[in-house]
Structure 1
Amino acid sequence: MRRVCLTLPTNRPCAGAVADIVAEAAHGAREFGVEVHVVVLDSSDEASRAVHRKAVDALPEAPGVVVHHLDEDAQRAFLTGAAVRSGAAEPERLVDLMLPDGVSYGACTNRAFLVAEALGCSSVHRRDSDSGYQEHAGAPVHPLHQELAFLGERADRAKERATSSRLDPASAHLPVALVGGSFIGEMSVDLDEIRTLDPAVYERVVTLSVPDDHPSLWRARLVADAFRGAGTEPFTADRTTLGRLAPTRVDMCNVALGREVYASLPLPPARDTIGSDYFLLHAVHGARLPAVLHNRHIVNHHTPERRTGDGFLAYQVRLAKYFLAVPALHAVHTGMAARGTALLDAAGHLRTSAVTDLVRDAASGDPAAGARRLDVLDRAYRALGGRWARAADHLAGQRADLLAGARADMEDFAVLLDAWPALTGASRNQELVTT
C-alpha cells in the first residue's frame, strides 16, 4: 500500500489544526486507498504539548490513518540515531542543524523528510499551524485530494486529467514531482501595516525580496504580487495546471513533494529566516521536473505574537535575515535553472552534488550586498517612526551578527547537503519512537 506523510510542524498551541489535518488525512485515505501517516513535529511549550497530546488521544480512529506526535526529545533521539548511523564525521553538528535552538522553517521540514523516510513514505505533504481550510458545499477543501491524485503519476498520463497543460514533451516520461497551491487571506509575510502607513516605504521594503539583477519591469510586477498568494477569490471548482511550476505560485503551507526531490536535497537550515523553506520549489523548477498547480488554496492568518512586544522584534529579525539571504539564494536558483535537466541523474532524481557546488559558491558572495540591504531597511523603518524605528534600533544592534550569519547559513547548508544522502539512507533504518 502506498504510504504518504502529512506533516504539521508547530511551535505554538494549535489543537484545532491538529484535528483538521487528521480529518484531511482521513479524507485522503478514504478516497485514494493510501496509508496516511500524520506527523506532528511539536516544538511548543510543555503546556501546549500536553493539549496537543490530549487532542490526538481524543481523535476517533480513522481507517488508513496513523498519527505520530513527536516532541523535541523524541525528534532529537531519532535524529541522533540517524546522524550516527550515517557515518558523519560530526553527527552532533548535523543534529544541531536539523533541530536548532530557535526557529528554522527549513529545519522543521527537513525533520519531516527524514521521518517520512523512516516510515517508508513516498511523499511529504506539508501544512502550517497558522492556516486552515476553505469550505465549499459544506465540506472542507482539502489540498491532499489533488496531491494524491497527481503526485508520482507519469506526466504524460497526468496530462489527461489536468484541466490544462504546459508540459514540456521532453519531461513527459517523468513523474510529477511537486503538487502545490497557494493561500488566500492575509499576506504570508506580515507587512500590511507598512503598506497602510506608507505605500512608498512598503515598496522599498518589499523590493528587498527581489534579486538586484531583475529587470525593472519584472521587479515592479514581483513587488506588486509579493506575499499576496492567490488573492481573495474563494474556491468554487477544481482547476489544475500541469507543467513547469513557478515557485511564486506555491506556498509551503500547501505543498507536496515526491521523495525523488527531498531524498536528494534538504532545505536550508537557516535559523530565524522566513522563506528559507522554499528552496526545493526552485530546485524542481530549475530541473524542469513536472509539477501540478491546483486552486485548493489554504486560508492564511497571522498569530498575535508576531505583532506585539518581543514577538514583533523577533519577526523583524527573521524578515531581515530573509532579505539578507536573497542574493545568495538567487545565485543558487539561477545556477540551478542554468543547469536544467543536468541537475538530474539517469533515474530523474536530483543530484545532490550538483547543487552543493552552487551553494558553496554562493556562500562566498559579496558581503557589501547585505550591508546595502540592511541600510535600505534601516532607513525605511526609521521613516515610519514608532515601533518601526525601535525595530530599526534592534536590527542595528545586531548588524554584525546578521551579516556574519547570512554567510554562515549558506556554509551550514553546504555541510548538510554533503551529509544528506547518507542521512536519508540511515533514516530508512532508524527506529522512530513517538509520544
Structure 2
Amino acid sequence: MRAVCLTLPTNRECAATIAAIGAEAAYAARRFGVRVHLLILDSADPATYRRHAEAVAALPAAGSAAGSGAGEVVVHHLDEAAQRAFLRDVIERSGAAGPDGPLGDKLLDLMLPDAVSYGACTNRAFLLAGALGCASVHRRDSDSAYQLLDGEPVFPIEHELATLGLKAADVAAAVTEVTLDPVHADKPVALVGGSFIGELSVDIGEIRELDPDAYHQVVALWAPTGASEQERRELVADSFTGGGTDPFRHDRAVLDLPDIWRIDMCNVALDHEVYDRVPLPPATATIGSDYFLLHLVRDATLPGVVHNRHIVNYYTPERRTGAGFTAYQLRYAKFLLSMLYLYPVYSEMEAARGALLDEAHHIRADVIADSARRSAATDRAENHRRLDALDHCYRQLGGKYAEFADHLAPQRARLLDEAQADIEDFALLIDAWGPLMRASKATPADRLPR
C-alpha cells in the first residue's frame, strides 16, 4: 500500500485544526486507498499538548477512518522529547557527525532549535516520513482551515494524490489544463500546491491600513539588489496575497513548471525525490525560510501542479500585541536579511535550470550546497540599507511600530551575523542530509515514532 505523510507542525493551540486535518487524512485513505501517516509535530507547552492529545484521541481509530477499509490512517503525535530522541538516533546512525561529536550536537540544534524555525519543523517531517516509508509529504499549518463547498470541506489532497510522483505525461486526465512544454513530459510531478484565501500570509496588513506608502516601502525591501521601481511595484502587488478572496466554486489544476507565486506552504505536497536530496534552510525566527524547495523545483525544470483548492488563512491574536507582536516583526526583519544570501542562490539556480538535475531527473544537492557556501561571502551593505529603511518606516508609523524600532536597533549587529550564519548552516545541513535521510529510511521497526 502506498504510504504518504500528511503533517501538521504546531507550537500553538489548534485542536480544531487537528480534527479538520484528521478528516482530510480519512478522505485521502478512503478516496485513494493509501496509508496516511498523520504526523503532528507538537512544540506547544504541556497544557496545550494535552489538549491536542485529547483532539487526537477523538479522531476515528487508526485503520477505521477510511470507512471501507480501502486505506488506513495512522496517527503520530510527537512532542519535542520524542522528536529529539528520533533525531539523535538518526544522527548517530548516519555517521554524518563524524567521529568527534560536536557536529552531532550542531546537527541536532539545526533540526530542533530552541526557537521557531519554519524550515526545521518541515525538515523533521521529511526525515520522519522517510522512516515511515512515505512517498510524499503533504504540509498544512495550524493557523489555517479548509474551505467549504455545499457544506463539505474542500481538501487539497485530492489533487496532490492524483498527480504527485507520476510522470507528467500520465497526469493530463487528472488536471484541467496542461501548459507544460512536452520536453518535460518524461519527468515526474515533483510538487503540487495551492494557495490561501483570507488575510495576508504575512501579518503586516495593519501597516497597509495605517499607511499604504509605508507598506509599499516595507514590502519592497525584500526585492533583490538593483531591482527597478517597476519591479518593486510588481513585487509589492503580488506579495503575500495568495489566491485572493474569491471562494472555491470548481476545480482548476494546471500542469506546468510550477508558478510558485501561487503556492503557499500551508497547502503544498512534495515528492520524496525532492526532499530526499535537499532540505529546507533551518534558519530560526525567519519568515519564508521554508519556501526554498519551491524555487528549486521550478528552477530545476521539474513539473508541478498548481490548483485552486485554497486553504483559509487566519491570524492568531498573539501576533498583534505585546511580546507576540515583537517576535513576529523580528521574524519579518530576519526574512528581509535572509534575502541577501538567498537571492544569489536563486540566481544561480535559475541560470543552471536543467543542469541542476542528473540523468535520472534527481536534484544535484552538491550544486546547491556549493552555491549556498559562496553566497555567505556576499557584501552586507544591502542588509545595512534594509535595516535603515525598516527603522525609518516603523518610526514613521509610530506607536508599537516605533517601539519595535527601538527594540530592533541594539540587535542589528547580531541579526546581521545570524543572517550570514544561517546560510552557512544551510550548506552544512545539505552536506549532511543524504546520510541523515538514508539513516532515517533504515530506522529499525522498534525505533519508529509511535
Are the equivalent residues in 1 in contact too, given 2:132–2:448 (CA < 8 A)? no
Matched, 1:53 2:83: no
Structure 2: how far apart are the matches of 1:217 and 1:319? Answer: 23
Structure 2: how far apart are the matches of 1:52 and 1:14? Answer: 7
- Amino acid corresponding to residue 225 of structure 2 in structure 1: D
Q: Name the residue aligned to 1:3.
A: 3
Q: Name the residue aligned to 1:181.
A: 194
Structure 1: how far apart are the matches of 2:228 and 2:155? Answer: 37
Gaps of at least 5 residues in structure 2 are 67-71
> CA offset at residue 433 of structure 1?
4.9
Q: Name the residue aligned to 1:409.
A: 422
User: Which of 386, 391, 412 is the matching residue for 2:404?
Assistant: 391
User: Which of 408, 413, 420 is the matching residue for 1:400?
Assistant: 413
User: Which of 107, 131, 135 is the matching residue for 2:144?
Assistant: 131
Q: Cα deviations across residues 358-412 of structure 1 (Å, max 9, x unaligned)?
A: 1011111111111110001000000011110000011102111110000000011
Q: Name the residue aligned to 1:268.
A: 281
Q: Name the residue aligned to 1:350.
A: 363
Structure 2: how far apart are the matches of 1:56 and 1:204? Answer: 44
> CA offset at residue 434 of structure 1?
4.0
Q: Name the residue aligned to 1:16.
A: 16
Structure 2: how far apart are the matches of 1:409 and 1:366? Answer: 15
- Other structure's SS at 1:382 match: helix
Are the equivalent residues in 2 in contact too, given 1:74–1:433 (CA < 8 A)? no
TM-score (norm 2): 0.95
Are the equivalent residues in 2 in contact too, given 1:244–1:291 (CA < 8 A)? yes
Change (3 A) 1:111 1:12: same
Q: Name the residue aligned to 2:213.
A: 200
- Other structure's SS at 1:176 match: coil
Structure 2: how far apart are the matches of 1:161 and 1:59? Answer: 30
Matched, 1:69 2:69: no
Q: Name the residue aligned to 2:44.
A: 44
Q: Name the residue aligned to 1:147.
A: 160
Counterparts of 1:191-230 in structure 2 under 5 Å?
A: 191-230=204-243
Structure 1: how far apart are the matches of 2:262 and 2:298? Answer: 11
Q: Name the residue aligned to 2:69.
A: none
Q: Cα deviations across residues 168-203 of structure 1 (Å, max 9, x unaligned)?
A: 222100110000000000000011111111111110
Structure 1: how far apart are the matches of 2:7 and 2:227? Answer: 35
Change (3 A) 1:416 1:116: same
Q: Cα deviations across residues 70-117 of structure 1 (Å, max 9, x unaligned)?
A: 000000000001111110222111111000000000000000000000
Matched, 1:25 2:11: no
User: Which of 427, 430, 435 is the matching residue for 2:443?
Assistant: 430
Q: Cα deviations across residues 241-265 of structure 1 (Å, max 9, x unaligned)?
A: 1101122110000000000100000
- Other structure's SS at 1:405 match: helix
- Other structure's SS at 1:277 match: coil
Structure 2: how far apart are the matches of 1:421 and 1:213? Answer: 36
- Other structure's SS at 2:287 match: coil
Structure 1: how far apart are the matches of 2:255 and 2:223? Answer: 26
Counterparts of 1:361-372 in structure 2 under 5 Å?
A: 361-372=374-385
Matched, 1:105 2:118: yes
Structure 2: how far apart are the matches of 1:426 and 1:93? Answer: 17
User: Which of 290, 302, 315 is the matching residue for 2:303?
Assistant: 290
Structure 2: how far apart are the matches of 1:212 and 1:244? Answer: 26
Are the equivalent residues in 2 in contact too, given 1:78–1:430 (CA < 8 A)? no
User: Which of 334, 357, 380 is the matching residue for 2:393?
Assistant: 380
Structure 2: how far apart are the matches of 1:114 and 1:411? Answer: 21
> CA offset at residue 327 of structure 1?
2.2
RMSD across aligned positions (CA) = 1.0
> CA offset at residue 45 of structure 1?
0.2
Q: Cα deviations across residues 212-253 of structure 1 (Å, max 9, x unaligned)?
A: 233433321111121010110100000011101122110000
Q: Name the residue aligned to 1:163.
A: 176
- Amino acid corresponding to residue 69 of structure 1 in structure 2: H
Q: Single out whichever of 153-162 and 167-176 deviates more from structure 2.
A: 153-162
User: Which of 84, 88, 104 is the matching residue for 1:91?
Assistant: 104
Q: Name the residue aligned to 1:338.
A: 351
Are the equivalent residues in 1 in contact too, given 2:242–2:264 (CA < 8 A)? yes
User: Which of 257, 265, 269 is the matching residue for 2:270?
Assistant: 257
- Other structure's SS at 2:37 match: strand
- Amino acid corresponding to residue 132 of structure 1 in structure 2: A
- Other structure's SS at 2:369 match: helix
Structure 1: how far apart are the matches of 2:185 and 2:88? Answer: 40
Q: Cα deviations across residues 333-356 of structure 1 (Å, max 9, x unaligned)?
A: 111111111111222111110100
- Amino acid corresponding to residue 79 of structure 2 in structure 1: D
Q: Cα deviations across residues 139-192 of structure 1 (Å, max 9, x unaligned)?
A: 000001110011011101112332112212221001100000000000000111
Structure 1: how far apart are the matches of 2:162 and 2:232? Answer: 35
- Amino acid corresponding to residue 189 of structure 2 in structure 1: V
Structure 1: how far apart are the matches of 2:228 and 2:359? Answer: 35
> CA offset at residue 137 of structure 1?
1.3
Structure 1: how far apart are the matches of 2:350 and 2:364? Answer: 14
Gaps of at least 5 residues in structure 1 are none
Q: Name the residue aligned to 1:78.
A: 86
Equivalences, count: 435
